[in-house]
Structure 1
Amino acid sequence: MKKTKDYDYVVIGAGIAGSCVSHFLKEDKVLLIDRFEDVAQFASGVAGGFLSPLLGKPNKFKELVTKSLSFAVDFYKSLDESLIVQKGVLRVPKDEDDRLKFDVYKKHFDFEWEEKEGGFFFKIGSQVFSYELCKKLTLNVDKIFNYEVKHIKYKEGTWIINDEIKTKNLILTTGSDIKLIDEEYINIRAVWGQRIDISTTTCIDFNYHKECSISTSYNKVTNDLYKVSIGATHHRFESKLEKDFKAFENPSLSNLSNIGYTNELYKKDTLELLEKANNIKTLNDVKVLKTYFGARASSFDYFPIVGSLVDSKETLNMFPYLKNGTHVKSDRFIRHDNLFILNGVGGRGFVLSPYLAKKLVDFIKKKDTLDDEITVDRLFKKWVRRNK
């Protein structure tokens, strides 16, 4: 690798989270690194890019999604209106029990809505073009691709990556791959999913969501054929990948078989997606064009993980009585100097990432506070309680 200059910020991971963080730092000396040859080549490349409200009774997570959705739609429009299709989304109850829940949720809907086709239509529902969007976000950012980060170390106020790249601040947006973080309390579960792009003679006017999501007919294949996205399935595999691979477009299933994603499961998932989609809207003359696989990075409490990393060893050395349940304010925890994270955005990555990236950048540069439910600190506290 050629000798590189020193940076104010290095972001590792070029999915939607890393792309958004880099965008908000683009006025500084920032470098974006990824092990693949381009942006959005793992979970973010697999995503259908659906933006939809979260329904339910008021709670902290719903509040976060609502704020993030409003921010994301406005942000994407201001970035490039051609990369977002806003034709609304119809949320359809799965069954009668689900309909009764929806009736209860009505008074808690956060966005303009109307009843339509047996469901609830929200004008804010949108879809973004995931790869093109990440390209746009990182347009004016220094980037290094096909670069595997093997080790990081902190020395004399500087983070050093592979003994080659130096930066004052290091931000990890690596999704399901957390091997660079030597902290047991950071625990990410990979939720594997499949999305398919199809051609159909059925024109779809807006997005649908029931047991899967169907996109509007956002493009034409020919004069009488429309392109539509359907996603996504959910699998949690116990085994780990034996090697890294690009999980973007039609990857070799021999790679996926290491974790249990067999040809049989792929065929089953494809048929399941088509069946679920047809239960929402009849799709005629269907042909599968492309298949996408990938692992969404989710936390165990479903909230994202944002902020500066707690040094668990040094914090417990300083405050050993944490293990006995004694309360210590988070601002007294010992931190890894200038080491930050944005992770665990799960299946709502394109909804959450712009808002969270802006919050993280303001936290780093302006010393703004982060809400307790999204910080790293909550995970550290839970880990201490479990291991006392």
Structure 2
Amino acid sequence: MQNVDYIIVGDGYAALFFAHQLTKNKKSFVIFSEGKKNASQISAGIINPVVLKKFTTFWLAQEQLDFLRTSLNEIENYTGENYLINASIHRIFHDENEQKLWLKKSKTEELLPFLNEDFKHLEVVKNDFNTGMVEQSARLNVQGFFDDLLKYHEDNYQLIKEKFDYNKLNVSDSTYGNFKFKNIIFCEGMNVENNPYFSDIQVIPNKGHHIRVKLSQPISEDITIKKKHFLFPLKDNLYFYGGTYDREQMHENIDDSAVEQLKNGLLEFYQNSFDVKEIHFGFRPTVKDRRPILGRHPQHKNLYVFNGLGARGILNGCYFSKSLYDFIENNIDLPEEISLDRFNKKDA
């Protein structure tokens, strides 16, 4: 029997950022990874403090950005790589009214750190009203992050490459197969629907597609361009363009309508020819109030859930991993806004 402090079920942002908290604090753990590409692993990796439809920000945006940079520096200490790509987002304005709104919002206290007042005209793409740059925006090298961290945990005998089997879990004596554990953290994304302990948590699947394209005329700068969706360069002369949001089409196939939506969205501002080389999709776990769900099972006190990261998986996963760690190890209450208990209070 192998004793571990934690079992982590899942291998997305929630799982790996929580594993980082355990690594930092010298806790023993194993990660159960089914090895399938999940929503985190095909995500765009956009790090963005601004809601670019309305030019607003969100709860704890600055704190989350600062914590992410610190955490990525810490992770670099053991993988040897920093996965932060300091490439700013440039939002294409649709008209003069959007320019005026941007300037007005940029003078407010909450948006002052994020909206650059100097507009920029981009080459190659159509941007008749120029673009606004989002300060402190960036991207994560998603593939490098997951490849390197999963390999690091595998090399340290912390990665179990198999599907977690709930039937092997004996909650009363805290064992799973050959493991004796103190706590289990379920970071399963939409797979939580199959979890007999947390299947009733209120996550809603949101299907997102993106395409990888080859542009006939490349964009010279390494920036992220945003109009309806995000466009930025990848390796091998490919560009990422996406992603869509769909709460209706929940089947496990590519939706042609989503691909058409992406092609048309790209054609709005990139008016040269391009070839679609790859199509990807995944299911983001979203929550009605747009806050993650963290907490302890009401009966089984060493079972926890970390889910509902939505479209801000990187920022939410990184920042709230510490909240969950402090809740378990240091008895610090979870913020009510993210606690699993908030739904019980509403239902009461």
Partner of 1:89: 89
Inter-CA distance 212–155: structure 2 relative to 1 (3 Å threshold): same
Unaligned runs of 5+ in 2: 121-129
Partner of 1:292: 280
- Among 164, 179, 197, which residue is 2:212 paired with? 197
Partner of 2:203: 188
- Among 271, 293, 307, which residue is 1:343 paired with? 307
Task: Report the CA distance between 1:231 and its aligned residue.
Answer: 1.0
Partner of 2:180: 166
Task: Report the CA distance between 1:94 and its aligned residue.
Answer: 5.0
Partner of 2:347: 383
Partner of 2:325: 361
Unaligned runs of 5+ in 1: 242-255, 312-335
Task: Report the CA distance between 1:16 and its aligned residue.
Answer: 1.2
Partner of 1:63: 59
Partner of 1:22: 19
Q: Is 1:125–1:207's contact at 8 Å kept on the other side of the alignment?
A: no
Residues 100-140 of structure 1 show CA distances to partners (whole Å, capped at 9, x for unaligned) of 65455321315242332433202322111223212333414
Q: Counterpart amino acid of 1:195?
A: H
Task: Report the CA distance between 1:273 and its aligned residue.
Answer: 1.4
Q: What count of residue pairs does the alignment treat as equivalent?
A: 320
Task: Report the CA distance between 1:366 and its aligned residue.
Answer: 2.1
Residues 68-104 of structure 1 show CA distances to partners (whole Å, capped at 9, x for unaligned) of 1232234324534552211211133456665565455
The normalised TM-score by structure 1 is 0.74
Inter-CA distance 74–8: structure 2 relative to 1 (3 Å threshold): closer
Could you tell me how far apart the structure 2 residues matched to 1:45 and 1:129 are?
A: 10
Q: Does 1:229 align with 2:226?
A: no
Could you tell me how far apart the structure 1 residues matched to 2:56 and 2:287 are?
A: 21
Task: Report the CA distance between 1:277 and its aligned residue.
Answer: 2.5
Q: Does 1:126 align with 2:165?
A: no
Partner of 1:306: 294
Could you tell me how far apart the structure 2 residues matched to 1:18 and 1:82 are?
A: 18
Inter-CA distance 284–82: structure 2 relative to 1 (3 Å threshold): farther
Classify the secondary structure of the residue corresponding to 1:382. Answer: helix
Task: Report the CA distance between 1:32 and its aligned residue.
Answer: 0.3
Q: Is 1:72–1:352's contact at 8 Å kept on the other side of the alignment?
A: no
Q: Counterpart amino acid of 1:90?
A: H
Q: Is 1:310–1:380's contact at 8 Å kept on the other side of the alignment?
A: no
Q: Is 2:292–2:307's contact at 8 Å kept on the other side of the alignment?
A: yes
Aligned-residue sequence identity (percent) comes to 20
Question: What is the root-mean-square deviation of aligned Cα atoms in Å?
Answer: 2.6
Q: Does 1:277 align with 2:288?
A: no
Inter-CA distance 143–183: structure 2 relative to 1 (3 Å threshold): closer
Task: Report the CA distance between 1:377 and its aligned residue.
Answer: 1.2
Task: Report the CA distance between 1:307 and its aligned residue.
Answer: 2.6
Could you tell me how far apart the structure 1 residues matched to 2:88 and 2:40 are?
A: 22
Could you tell me how far apart the structure 2 residues matched to 1:104 and 1:6 are?
A: 57
- Among 102, 115, 120, which residue is 2:118 paired with? 115
Task: Report the CA distance between 1:344 and its aligned residue.
Answer: 0.4
Choose 132-141 or 288-297, whichever is displaced more: 132-141
Q: Is 2:50–2:56's contact at 8 Å kept on the other side of the alignment?
A: no
Classify the secondary structure of the residue corresponding to 1:43. Answer: coil
Partner of 2:50: 54
